[in-house]
Chain A
Amino acid sequence: MELYELTLKQAQEFLAKNPNRKDELTKTLADRIKQVDSKLNTYINFDSKHAQKNGDVKGPLSGIPVSIKDNIVTRDWETTCASKILKGFVPPYDATVIRKLREAGAVIFGKCNMDEFAFGSSCETSCFGPTRNPWNLDFVPGGSSGGSAAAVAGRTAIAALGSDTGGSIRQPASFCGVVGLKPTYGRVSRYGLVAFGSSLDQIGPITRTVEDSAILLNVLAGHDEKDSTSANVPVPDYTSFLTKSVKGLKIGLPKEYFVKGLDPEVEKAVKQATSVLQDLGASVTEISLPHMKYAIAVYYVVAVAEASSNLGRFDGVEYGFRHESSNLRDMYFETRNQGFGAEAKRRILLGTFVLSAGYYDAYYLKGLKVRTLIKQDFDQAFQKVALVLGPTAPTPPFRIGEKMSDPLSMYLSDIYTISANLAGVPAMNVPCGFSAAGLPIGMQLTAKPFDEGTIFRAGSAYESATKWHEKVPKL
């Protein structure tokens, strides 16, 4: 077994036995990247010179390389959000999650490719070119954290961080056959995450196993006084849930999830996964999330409104790309016109529109009200069950280029993931099969706020009973 194939847990064990071989881990990854990343394009840049040493810090991740989605700021290391407008921006500070990783001894290894500003579900809108799916290079890895998910699946990373505003961790994890967790809103500090939809964004781990996810969340989670939206809720040891049986665990299948539009292969895989959990002792009942059908509409009001405001600061004044001009108006216009890609412009325009005088009540305010209803759906569901199970994405991965000219069908790719962001609840993708074409399929486990433990419990039990996570894409 090559060192780059190690899971996070295996890397911990390897370094415990071989404390002097820390540099080998980063070196083996760098070699692997040189070998395969011209095909995958998972990195925007990585530490080929092994400059980011952190081997002396004792901690749970001591010496372990972790890769970072390029919308999380890293001190003295260019952070671009895969956008031309941020090229050359070198943050003077570390995001709180980066600080925590460093304090835990991790090596910040590289910055992963993504959809521009996390706008997209296919990782095709990056100004650095698309990332490809390690299982089939003609297919997308999902998005927006496509670089992180493809890196973990393609063994160019041991573990990675992604961010999830409407499914951007879970959907690419599903498409790449890896584990991706969007924690409860407020569980992980957003300080240093370049904002997309501030009320929806969460940082989370993308890993090969549920166990790795728990190990990383242990480091990432917790209150941060620099983020007013981070919650002051105690952080349990998430690895303690990994060995708990699912006997008696109540799981709900929303009837609204299994309807027209859901790919039959995905439906079959998810139903089979449900049976596995039932066999392990969980009880499964049908539930209803009646406002689920509004989730995409609400999301494309709330998220774009916040995005249009959050992206105002990219104006060429302080940092990043600037179109030089002798007049201010022209500098603004051309900096933003040339700096942003088409999807970013589309969302800025949409968001600006829904917040405009005369439209605010009809769109944004109404959106917030429906958002409350969606949250109430989950509150009610969690009075009956401890876990909601469904597909992560409606289909297996689609082809590169297939949906780029059809934004609405692209948006539908997040139909199952968006409601967790609107409700603020935690949700995880766990691989649960492959299509006939050999592409990964994932299921989504959703729990009530701050109950990531139950997700780890069920995810780990399922993983132990199946072999999906052991399959490796051939590159």
Chain B
Amino acid sequence: MSDQYESVIGLEVHVQLKTESKIFCSCPAQFGAEPNQNTCPVCLGLPGSLPVLNERALELAMKVGLALGCRISDRIKFDRKNYFYPDLPKAYQISQYDMPVSSKGHLAIELKSDAGTLAEKRIGITRAHLEEDAGKLLHEGVRDGSWVDYNRAGIPLLEIVSEPDLRSPEEAFQYLVSLKAILQYLGVSDCNMEEGSLRCDANVSIRQKGAAPFGTKVEIKNMNSFRAVHKAIAYEIKRQSEALETGTRIVQETRLWNESKGETFTMRSKEEAHDYRYFPEPDLVPFSVSSDQIEALRKSLPELPQARFERFRKQYGISDYDAYVLVAEKALADYFEACTREGANPKLASNWIQSELLALINLKKHSIKNLPNLPPKHLAGLIRLIENGTISGKIAKDVIVEMYDTKKSAEEIVKEKGLIQVTDTKLLEEVADRVIQANPKVAAEVRSGKAQAIGFLVGQVMKETQGKANPKMINEILTKKITSQK
């Protein structure tokens, strides 16, 4: 994007709330059942059926509102949003129109500068309202028509709408990361974009930098990962900037993201937009929520990512960035804390989790949430061996792979394979002498002041000891021997 433009982005996130049963009936709300198995007259919208609010869904919605610093409505009212589509069994969605359960909150996101430091930015939350999910159309393998699966119809959804405070694809991405973290800490949603338990639409416009009025807004749908949201917004900003530069008019419309082509395309124009004919849902009587109930919920909130971030920095002395990365994924932070409870050095634990462990998990396509291959106790054991000099970091990288594959502890593997670090000074001095003798030129370079040349000699000693030598000790011995040969 040319420097003269600024992008203005707002996100609408739909989150499926993790309740046992659906929002207006007692059907199970679980993902993955046989088509239309989790249905009843209510969620099928059969004539005569009536909705009854699942209070658990409201409770989870209010928890999210509280975590986002929202004002919680003391009156709960639902409305009907009318439109025709085969996945919507009643031809209206029960939603909240003018009285959302939560409004006027904010979400803090962390942005990494070029220098690597983090800066906080507050993104306004306009509202978060409760509604029911629709069913799903199935086209694949169906001839002459489509099938409808209503298992998803009636799953509670929370639609969280941000203010147009985001200014770049990266900010939008970080907004999703922070929001997901909060939702996971609250335990209210699986936040799985691929399974559809978290969905995101983006409103994107651009304007002259510093110009107050917003440009024409385009809504983008159909992104199925945070990465896709990032890419789709970036694409849209580029498309709109080019349009402005070439004098093409930007039309207000809804566009769909095509992941394989990496571009957005027109779905419907503003003129084709629905008139949803909202009106109060007569089947659900509005009711009041007392401030005592709201306060009790507030007190029940768990530690949230921001508080945990502050605590990690202070309690463990790790860097802002490390704390941020660990905290952003609740399971990762939980794993880290479990390691420290097992006695691991926090800094080492943080490093090993973020580098070696995550690489292994990604490689094996496992999840940090459920990791029988490498329980925190085992990682803590490995770190202890590194710290007390029993094995080198280099050896440890092999050991962790072995641990992962065999589910054995570090101690077992080190003992079995004889990997204990050589710290016998006499033995190391003999090897050092041999290496210096065999490489007189390198030794001379070191002596003449080219300090980094010693690395080669250290490598040779490691080679002779099959990597078991303590690198720090070798370094000291080699330096002493070479400089004393002056």
A-to-B contact residues, CB < 8 Å: 72-73, 79, 81, 86, 89, 91-93, 95, 190-195, 197-199, 225-229, 305-306, 308-309, 312-315, 317-319, 326, 328, 332, 352, 355-357, 360, 364
B91 touches A312 (CB 8 A): yes
Known: A194-B48, A319-B46, A357-B275. A92 touches B92 (CB 8 A): no
B277 touches A192 (CB 8 A): no
A191 to B275 Cα, complex, angstroms: 29
A195 to B92 Cα, complex, angstroms: 14
The residues of A that contact B283 with a CB separation of less than 8 Å are: 195, 198, 228-229
Task: Decide if B148 is an interface residue (CB 8 Å cutoff).
Answer: yes
The residues of B that contact A360 with a CB separation of less than 8 Å are: 277-279
In the complex, what residue of chain A is closest to B146 when comparing beta carbons? A328
B279 touches A313 (CB 8 A): no
| In the complex, per-residue mask of B68-101: 1 if CB is within 8 Å of any chain A CB, else 0 | 0000000000001010101001111000000000
* CB interface residues, B 36-75, toward A, < 8 Å: 41, 44-53
Known: A228-B52, A315-B91, A356-B277. A93 touches B46 (CB 8 A): yes
- Label chain A's interface by main secondary structure: loop
The residues of B that contact A81 with a CB separation of less than 8 Å are: 47
In the complex, what residue of chain B is closest to A94 when comparing beta carbons? B48
Task: Decide if B210 is an interface residue (CB 8 Å cutoff).
Answer: no
Residue picked from A198, A309, A328, most chain B C-beta under 10 Å: A309
The residues of A that contact B44 with a CB separation of less than 8 Å are: 318
A310 to chain B, nearest CB (A): 8
B84 touches A332 (CB 8 A): yes
Contact among B48, B82, B144, B278 with A312 in the assembled complex (CB-CB below 8 Å): B82
B277 touches A352 (CB 8 A): yes
B144 touches A91 (CB 8 A): no
The residues of B that contact A79 with a CB separation of less than 8 Å are: 47-48
B255 to chain A, nearest CB (A): 22
Contact among A228, A305, A317 with B53 in the assembled complex (CB-CB below 8 Å): A228
Q: Would you mind naming 21 contact pairs between A and B with Cβ atoms under 8 Å apart?
A: A73-B48, A93-B41, A191-B50, A193-B48, A195-B47, A228-B51, A229-B50, A229-B284, A229-B285, A306-B279, A308-B82, A309-B277, A313-B90, A313-B91, A314-B47, A315-B86, A317-B148, A318-B148, A319-B46, A355-B278, A360-B278
A306 to B52 Cα, complex, angstroms: 18
A190 touches B45 (CB 8 A): no
A89 to B92 Cα, complex, angstroms: 20
B50 touches A228 (CB 8 A): yes
Q: Considering the complex of A and B, which 3 residue pairs feature the smallest CB-CB distances, nearest first?
A: A312-B91, A355-B277, A198-B282
The residues of A that contact B48 with a CB separation of less than 8 Å are: 72-73, 79, 91, 95, 191-195
A355 to B276 Cα, complex, angstroms: 9
Known: A312-B82, A328-B86. A91 touches B285 (CB 8 A): no
B275 touches A305 (CB 8 A): no
The residues of B that contact A89 with a CB separation of less than 8 Å are: 47
Contact among B41, B45, B52, B84 with A225 in the assembled complex (CB-CB below 8 Å): B52
Contact among B46, B80, B91, B284 with A92 in the assembled complex (CB-CB below 8 Å): B46
Chain B interface size, as a band, is 20 to 34
Contact among A73, A228, A352 with B285 in the assembled complex (CB-CB below 8 Å): A228
The residues of A that contact B284 with a CB separation of less than 8 Å are: 228-229
B92 touches A309 (CB 8 A): yes
Known: A228-B283, A355-B277, A355-B279. A317 touches B86 (CB 8 A): yes
A331 to chain B, nearest CB (A): 9
A318 to B44 Cα, complex, angstroms: 8
The residues of A that contact B89 with a CB separation of less than 8 Å are: 313, 317-318
A343 to B188 Cα, complex, angstroms: 47
A317 to B44 Cα, complex, angstroms: 11
B41 touches A92 (CB 8 A): yes
In the complex, what residue of chain A is closest to B46 when comparing beta carbons? A91
A309 to B92 Cα, complex, angstroms: 7
In the complex, what residue of chain A is closest to B281 when comparing beta carbons? A198
A386 to chain B, nearest CB (A): 27
Contact among B52, B279, B285 with A309 in the assembled complex (CB-CB below 8 Å): B279
The residues of B that contact A318 with a CB separation of less than 8 Å are: 44-46, 89, 148
A326 touches B52 (CB 8 A): no
Known: A228-B283, A305-B279, A309-B277. A194 touches B47 (CB 8 A): yes
B275 touches A312 (CB 8 A): no
A79 to B47 Cα, complex, angstroms: 9
The residues of B that contact A194 with a CB separation of less than 8 Å are: 47-48
A145 to B53 Cα, complex, angstroms: 31
A357 to B41 Cα, complex, angstroms: 31
In the complex, what residue of chain B is closest to A72 when comparing beta carbons? B48
The residues of A that contact B49 with a CB separation of less than 8 Å are: 93, 191-192
A391 to chain B, nearest CB (A): 29
A193 to B41 Cα, complex, angstroms: 13
In the complex, what residue of chain A is closest to B83 when comparing beta carbons? A312
The residues of B that contact A356 with a CB separation of less than 8 Å are: 275, 277
The residues of A that contact B53 with a CB separation of less than 8 Å are: 228
A313 touches B41 (CB 8 A): no
A315 to B83 Cα, complex, angstroms: 11
| In the complex, per-residue mask of B255-268: 1 if CB is within 8 Å of any chain A CB, else 0 | 00000000000000
A302 to chain B, nearest CB (A): 9
A313 touches B82 (CB 8 A): no
A298 to chain B, nearest CB (A): 15
A309 to B47 Cα, complex, angstroms: 12
A110 to chain B, nearest CB (A): 18
The residues of B that contact A364 with a CB separation of less than 8 Å are: 279
A227 to B46 Cα, complex, angstroms: 14
B130 to chain A, nearest CB (A): 15
The residues of A that contact B92 with a CB separation of less than 8 Å are: 309, 312
The residues of B that contact A326 with a CB separation of less than 8 Å are: 144
The residues of B that contact A312 with a CB separation of less than 8 Å are: 82, 84, 90-92
A318 to B36 Cα, complex, angstroms: 12
A313 to B43 Cα, complex, angstroms: 12
A312 to B274 Cα, complex, angstroms: 15
Residue picked from B45, B46, B89, B277, most chain A C-beta under 10 Å: B277
